[in-house]
Amino acid sequence: MTTGTIERRSKGADHNGKASVTELDRLVTESANEASQGLDTKSALEIARIINHEDAKIAAAIKKSLPEIAIVIDNVARALRDGGRLIYVGAGSSGRIAALDASEIPPTYSTSPQTVQYIMAGGPKALASSMEANEDSRELGQRDIARRRPTRKDIVIGISASGRTPYVVAAIEYARGRGSKTAAVTCNYNSELATVADVTIVGEVGPEVVLGSTRMKAGTAQKMILNMITTGAMTRLGYVYGNLMVNVHMKNSKLVERGIRILTQACGVDHDTAVRAIKASGKSVPIAMVMLKANVDKQEAVRRLHRADGNVRRAIEDTTLDL
């Protein structure tokens, strides 16, 4: 484990793993926020200021977990490079944030929808409807992850603000038992989820402005952490060149223009040269970039990218170094 002191499930939990009142009292995410006392008596501007002041604490809280985030970035990159999958597991707000991150990877980096997936308590219907009761079921968590048949090639990440959601805990426990790498993203230290994950990332952002409304600071922290994980992994895989999104999938006019602009910036060519390269490459920015930077034809660019496992910089330099 890469977490600090870890505690087992509290004796106050019932047989379904549901928290007692005393357990919830111990969660930072469920405690009262002194800064927002009397919120309902404030003006709109005062409410906005209070929320903004609390939100300003989020990045500093996440900074404390950068070493763990880096470990997970490399674990995800290795899993995807070796043909595995990243599978998120969440419930409620955490599940919706996971679904958002998973759904944005294919259009951003031209990956298969199977590469980054999500499992949510209540299924896809829970994205728009309240089905939070499902998060209390360990059986459903095990069943849903079992249907994805996790293997040693995969990495499964559980997301839970409290760190004690039975659905998520059971899914991570099951995946780890099948040999998958596992990680947890929580907003409370010493959580049950930490006891079943290989690596735990904690964004302890403190009490919410509205007590227990973890779609707020906790949700923002989780979104920031997942952004770091997938962006970092895709960058390590070579789908980013410099800071340019070179694996962009050009499915509409805006993205075609973005691809052209990426080539002009990265390769130092004019607009017309970039357009010709895009056409010659079959509308592939990575192929076009290798053609221009390495001064090779399409066939050689494709060969280089294949040898480099899709890593654009390595294809340009024609190296096959490991991650």
What is the set of active-site residues? 104, 135
Are residues 207 and 28 in contact, defined by beta-carbon separation less than 8 angstroms? yes
Show Cβ contacts of residue 281 under 8 Å, excluding neighbours closer than 6 positions: 287, 288, 291, 298, 301
29's enclosing H/E stretch is none
Could you tell me the two tokens for 322? 């490991």
Are residues 88 and 101 in contact, defined by beta-carbon separation less than 8 angstroms? yes
Helices (H), the chain: 21-25, 44-55, 58-63, 66-81, 92-109, 138-146, 166-177, 192-196, 217-236, 253-267, 271-280, 285-294, 298-307, 312-317
Are residues 254 and 217 in contact, defined by beta-carbon separation less than 8 angstroms? no
Are residues 157 and 198 in contact, defined by beta-carbon separation less than 8 angstroms? no
User: Checking DSSP bridges between strand 116-120 and strand 155-159, what pairing results, if any?
Assistant: unpaired
Sign of CA dihedral 12, 96, 223, 211: negative
Distances (CA, A) of 295 to 208, 289, 312: 55, 9, 14
Helix (H, G, I), strand (E, B) or coil at 8: coil
Q: How many CA atoms lie within 13 A of 255 on its CB side?
A: 15
Are residues 199 and 2 in contact, defined by beta-carbon separation less than 8 angstroms? yes
